[in-house]
């Protein structure tokens, strides 16, 4: 991700490096669409699993306003919302880097930082609600969230300080400070797939037929497709981390050594290929 080098090394940018980052950013934005589709699937299954465990929540005389996110499908349930906020945080970080590289004003960048602040505050609220109140009902979802919540808590003060100072120079400083936590968020998203998988497959494994006689061949095929889909997503996360790491190494080099910033086009090509694979698996799930 060439843009980090620009943020650290100011104006020591080469046209080729900018083109590499453009390719990476386009691939990341496409991968973001794939990730959103995965979270759409997760939201459906998280809601189903919660209401199955909490059957009293759906009896004919009960309405609990604290469960509004589970009653309606117009918004993510809290576990999915927190995970989606993590990815939104990483996307906004990319957008801020891009804004610095392309010479956007401090006010324009402040708008992106403000969006990041809103995402983090929402993420903290969502993770807290799951961790504190819903662990028994959703152990798989809740298990993925403490480390993500910790990353949100670390990032939020940096964001709020950047909004107070509102200068391009401090935004560069913010990006330096935020880099390790953004990498940690990527790591936790990767690890969260261990917990997302059993939520995605819960309805299949707990169907009346599966409980009585075990999974059918069609059920097993669908479970395996979910596994392939999450594998695609892990590779996309790894590619994003690889791009961040390459840019970090370049940023630590002398400002004139722009030739050290390479490899982002290859990362972008890999992300495009895997995003296509994930799109295929999502289409397969829609017909099973």
> At a CB cut-off of 8 Å and minimum separation 6, what does 110 contact?
162, 163, 166
Q: Report the range of poorest mean pLDDT among 80-94, 230-244, 246-260.
A: 246-260
Residues 6+ apart with CB under 8 A from 287: none
Q: Is the pLDDT of residue 62 over 50?
A: yes
Per-residue pLDDT at 8 exceeds 50: no
When pLDDT is averaged across residues 139-155 and rounded to a whole number, the result is 63
pLDDT of residue 7: 45
**Of 154-163, 197-206, 255-264, which one has max mean pLDDT?**
197-206
CB 244 within 8 A of CB 182: yes
d(CA 277, CA 232): 7
pLDDT (average), residues 99-108: 71
pLDDT at 98 over 80: no
Burial of 163: CB neighbours in 10 Å, binned 0-12, 13-18, 19+: middle
CA-based nearest residue to 83, from 200, 228, 223: 200
Kindly calculate the radius of gyration of the chain based on its CA atoms and give it in whole angstroms.
21
For the CA atoms of 9, 92, 197, 266, what is the dihedral angle to 10 degrees? -40
Whether the pTM exceeds 0.85: the reply is no
- pLDDT value at 165 more than 80: no
Using CA atoms, how far residue 160 sits from 123, 155, 156, 165, 166, in Å, is: 15, 9, 6, 9, 10
**Mean pLDDT taken over the chain:** 76
14: exposed, middle or buried (C-beta count within 10 Å: 0-12, 13-18, 19+)?
middle
Residue 273 is predicted with a pLDDT of 92
Which of these ranges, 26-35, 41-50, 209-218, has the smallest mean pLDDT?
209-218
| pLDDT single digits (tens) 220-247 | 999 999 999 999 999 999 998 888 777 6
Q: For residue 278, what pLDDT band results from cuts at 50, 70 and 90?
A: very high
* pLDDT for 64: 86
* pLDDT number for residue 17: 59
pLDDT at residue 2 tops 60: no
Residue 56 has a CB neighbour count (10 Å cut-off) of 9
| Residue 206 pLDDT | 80
Least confident stretch, 126-140, 150-164, 168-182, 244-258: 126-140
Q: Which of 202, 222, 219, 201 is nearest to 284 (CA)?
A: 222
The pLDDT score that the predictor gives to residue 25 is 81
**The pLDDT of residue 30:** 83
pLDDT at 256: 43
SS (H, E, C) the chain: CHHHHHHHHCCCCCHHHHHHHHHHHHHHHHHHHHHHHHHHHHHHHHHHHHHHHCHHHHCCCCCCHHHHHHHCCCCCCHHHHHHHHHHHHHHHHHHHHHHHHCCCCHHHHHHHHHHHHHHHHHHHHHHHHHHHHCCCCCHHHHHCCHHHHHHHHHHHHHHHHHHHHCCHHHHHHHHHHHHHHHHHHHHHHHHHHHHHHHHHCHHHHCCHHHHHHCCCHHHHHHHHHHHHHHHHHHHHHHHHHHHHHHHHHHHHCCCCCHHHCCCHHHHHHHHHHHHHHHHHHHHHHHCC
pLDDT (average), residues 127-151? 55
Calculate mean pLDDT across residues 13-32: 73
Q: How confident is the model at residue 13 (pLDDT cuts 50, 70, 90)?
A: very low
Q: Lowest mean pLDDT: which of 69-83, 170-184, 247-261?
A: 247-261
């Amino acid at each position: 991700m060439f843009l980090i080098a620009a943020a650290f090394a100011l104006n020591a940018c080469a046209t080729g490096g900018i083109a590499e980052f453009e390719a990476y950013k386009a691939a990341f934005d496409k991968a973001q669409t794939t990730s959103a589709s995965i979270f759409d699937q997760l939201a459906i299954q998280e809601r189903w699993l919660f209401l199955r465990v909490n059957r009293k929540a759906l009896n004919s005389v009960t309405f609990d306003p604290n469960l509004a996110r589970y009653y309606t499908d117009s918004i993510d349930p809290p576990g999915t919302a927190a995970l989606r906020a993590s990815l939104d945080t990483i996307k906004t970080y990319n957008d801020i880097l891009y804004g610095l590289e392309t010479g956007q004003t401090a006010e324009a960048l402040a708008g992106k930082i403000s969006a990041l602040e809103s995402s983090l505050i929402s993420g903290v609220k969502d993770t807290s609600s799951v961790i504190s109140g819903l662990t028994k009902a959703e152990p798989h979802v809740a298990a993925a969230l403490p480390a993500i919540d910790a990353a949100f808590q670390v990032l939020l003060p940096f964001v709020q300080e950047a909004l107070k100072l509102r200068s391009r120079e401090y935004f560069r400083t913010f990006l330096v400070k935020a880099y390790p936590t953004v990498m940690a968020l990527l790591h936790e998203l990767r690890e969260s797939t261990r917990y997302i998988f059993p939520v995605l497959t819960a309805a299949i494994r707990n169907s009346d037929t599966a409980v009585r006689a075990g999974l059918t061949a069609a059920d097993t095929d669908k479970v395996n497709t979910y596994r392939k889909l999450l594998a695609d997503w892990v590779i996309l996360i790894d590619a994003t981390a690889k791009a961040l790491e390459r840019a970090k190494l370049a940023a630590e080099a002398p400002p004139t050594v722009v030739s050290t910033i390479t490899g982002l086009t290859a990362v972008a090509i890999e992300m495009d290929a895997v995003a296509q694979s994930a799109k295929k698996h999502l289409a397969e799930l829609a017909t099973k």
